[in-house]
Amino acid sequence: MRLTVIGCGHLGATHAACMAELGHDVLGVDTDPERVHLLNRGKAPFFEAELDELLVRHTCSGKLRFTTSYAQAGSFGEVHFLTLGTPRADRGNATDVSHLLSAVRQLSPHLRQPSLVVGRSTVPVGTAARMAGYLKRISSAGPETHLAWNPEFLRESTAIHDTLYPDRIVVGLDSEDAAVDEAMLRQVYRPILRKGAPFLTTDLATSELVKCAANAFLATKISFINAMAELCEAANADVYQLTEALAHDERIGAGGMWPGLGFGGGCLPKDIHGFMAAAASLGTGQSLAFLREVDAVNTRRRSRVVWLARQRCGGNLDGKRIAIWGAAFKPMTDDVRDSPALAVAHSLFRKGARVVVHDPMALDKARKSHPHLTFCEDLTESTVEADLLLHLTDWPQYRRAAPEQLMPRVARPYVIDARGALDAGRWRRAGWTYDCLGRPPFPGQAVGPDGHLTRNR
């Protein structure tokens, strides 16, 4: 089949490459000429494992091309995927869907045949129905232009696998055109469906809500366990042991419940706010009032690290040198959108600390978003003369780092592990004072030679 993918960011570039991998002829469209140039050379404008290989393979095979031209897109394909960004609006919490509307406005005069336009972005409920009507009105192909909604559930860092082996494919259909649109999408995804992925069809509104609900649930699960971490800190208990014990209950499970510094990235934080705004506009704001608390718990984890850092620096951060490991919002990506690590770094900087940030992959993007911070390419160098080391993004490199070798370089051997990933015993044996969010001890407590707490706060 001939498909276009409009908006070639994290979702769109991945989707385009994976559709080519399924055997389709794909034209990616983006308004950013530099991005289009890079993609045509087989290079993603961000890091995503295995994506460059797919881009190279299919730009070379001729199955995949990228353009800035909507005229080419309109005449190219029979199915047009919309994968535009839906950021938080400048004012308030609502979701900005203007990129989607602009794409539809630019595409519609060029449609030369009956077409199916398929939204994949995360949108407030009601957006798809409005767009369906708008599209039929303005499309040059008239009412033969249909719209379906097909939300995406991929995670950055495992995006290719998540796209080719999805847990489910959810499709929202406009009632008038449901049968023909469903058949078309089944054909698009046929190789994936053959491998057994569930294909769930519903109406437009439900499909939009499935996506918002999924992200709200994932965020809630993370904040739930981080709220337990707050309790553990107050009660001298261990949230990691608690998590393990909870996870044995298969109704709870372990997935997506790792405590630590909380969630960031381009999606969960903005999506819970967009979801709350959508509920409020429907007059059911109180149904999602709990998401305010989910957000508050999440933000408190960042403040907790800043508080702990100040404690470990003797109550005053002014002029203290703090090494920060991690800038990306999670490991195996260079995405720094709403990065918890950079939020902590920024806050410490504002309080007078001299922060030095290391990240294996995200430094270029971190430099652009936080030009006032100091960055260091070398993991060991980043700790030189540090009064404190903060472990904020759980890259495998940091787990493997040797605390014994870092010891002579730092000014004071204090480490705060906000991701619960370093080997506490090894760091302590090497002479470090090791704190971990959600795990005793905290400043004012100490570990005796037997590994037990010797003093309470």
- CA 306/CA 299 separation, integer angstroms: 11
- Cβ–Cβ < 8 Å for 15, 152: yes
Considering the complex, what minimum distance in angstroms separates the CB of residue 89 from ligand UGA? Answer: 17
Q: Which parts of 21-40 interact with ligand NAI (CB under 6 A)? A: 29-32, 35
For residue 146, give the H/E element and its range: strand 145-149
User: Among the candidate windows 96-104, 123-131, 261-269, 364-372, which touches ligand UGA by CB under 6 A?
Assistant: 261-269
Q: Is 451 annotated as a binding residue?
A: no
What is the distance, to the nearest Å, from the Cα of residue 451 to the centroid of all Cα atoms in its chain? 37
Given ligand UGA, ligand NAI, none, residue 134, with its beta carbon under 5 to 8 Å by kind, binds none
- CA 141/CA 393 separation, integer angstroms: 49
Q: Would you count residue 435 as binding ligand NAI (CB under 6 A)?
A: no
Given ligand UGA, ligand NAI, none, residue 329, with its beta carbon under 5 to 8 Å by kind, binds ligand UGA
- CA 284/CA 275 separation, integer angstroms: 11
Which residue(s) pair with 200 in the sheet? Answer: 170
Considering the complex, what minimum distance in angstroms separates the CB of residue 427 from ligand UGA? Answer: 21
Q: Would you count residue 441 as binding ligand NAI (CB under 6 A)?
A: no
- Residues 6 or more apart from 330 whose CB is under 8 A from it? 156, 157, 264, 265, 393, 394
- CA 57/CA 68 separation, integer angstroms: 21
Token pair listed for 73 = 């897109």
Q: Would you count residue 119 as binding ligand NAI (CB under 6 A)?
A: no
Contacts 24+ apart (CB under 8 A), 246-254: none
Token pair listed for 309 = 């850092």
- CA 389/CA 348 separation, integer angstroms: 12
- CA 107/CA 105 separation, integer angstroms: 6
Q: Would you count residue 88 as binding ligand UGA (CB under 6 A)?
A: no
**Does 18 participate in catalysis according to the annotation?**
no
Residue nearest to ligand UGA (CB): 267
Token pair listed for 23 = 């055997």
Q: What x-and-dash track marks residues 151-170 binding ligand NAI by CB under 6 A? A: -x-x-x--------------
Q: Is 365 annotated as a binding residue?
A: no
Q: Would you count residue 84 as binding ligand NAI (CB under 6 A)?
A: yes
Considering the complex, what minimum distance in angstroms separates the CB of residue 207 from ligand NAI? Answer: 13
Q: Which of 267, 313, 376, 436 is catalytic?
A: 267
Considering the complex, what minimum distance in angstroms separates the CB of residue 176 from ligand UGA? Answer: 29
- Cβ–Cβ < 8 Å for 391, 325: yes
Query: Interface with ligand UGA by CB under 6 A: which residues?
Result: 122, 152-156, 215, 218, 222, 256-258, 260, 262-265, 267-268, 329-330
Annotated binding site for NAD(+): which residue ranges? 30, 35, 86, 122, 156, 270, 337
Query: Interface with ligand NAI by CB under 6 A: which residues?
Result: 6-12, 29-32, 35, 83-86, 99, 102-103, 121-122, 152, 154, 156, 266-267
Annotated binding site for substrate: which residue ranges? 153-156, 211, 264, 330
